[in-house]
Structure 1
């Protein structure tokens, strides 16, 4: 799993030149500001946040089971609370129709101290 530090490094803001004109871009190559974008830094920040959210989203029980022990997740379902991923996986065995996936990974032991 990618750490936040590595994610921010992979998505650093950069400048790309197209026909000699500078454009704000992301190091990942998946995002570049439009020529008429007056707030490219804000748009880049939104891209980085979206990419982080996607990288930290668990969509299947198999992905949930693969998480390190003590990982904390929060299901996207309304009014759900943060729980240990292992507890959510166990609950899915008992109630496979529960609406608790996808879930957002809030913390893993690899992330370090809370």
Structure 2
């Protein structure tokens, strides 16, 4: 879990496109996890994720689960860079332009105690 700093999430005025850009996010590298003796090393992550709505609406309202969502199916793209300074290791994903997810949505959600609001 990480706080999203001000300005890191930009949503278009019509709510149909969102870009999340996190840089220098402190994370832990634990390649042997979940082994009980897995070493943990400090690492840094830069990640950008972009969601863009399609014209296919999505509506979910499930009172038993207290879940409501109204929005659109979306394309989703991501790119990332990871650095583990103690190892001198860096890794970079393919560029954002070549990234495609199999499923994405963008819209408004209410769940749990916020379901009735």
Q: TM range, normalised to the smaller chain?
A: under 0.3
Q: Give the number of the structure whose residues are more often helix, by fraction.
A: 1
Q: TM-score, normalised by structure 2?
A: 0.21
Structure that is richer in strand per residue = 2
TM-score by length of 1: 0.21
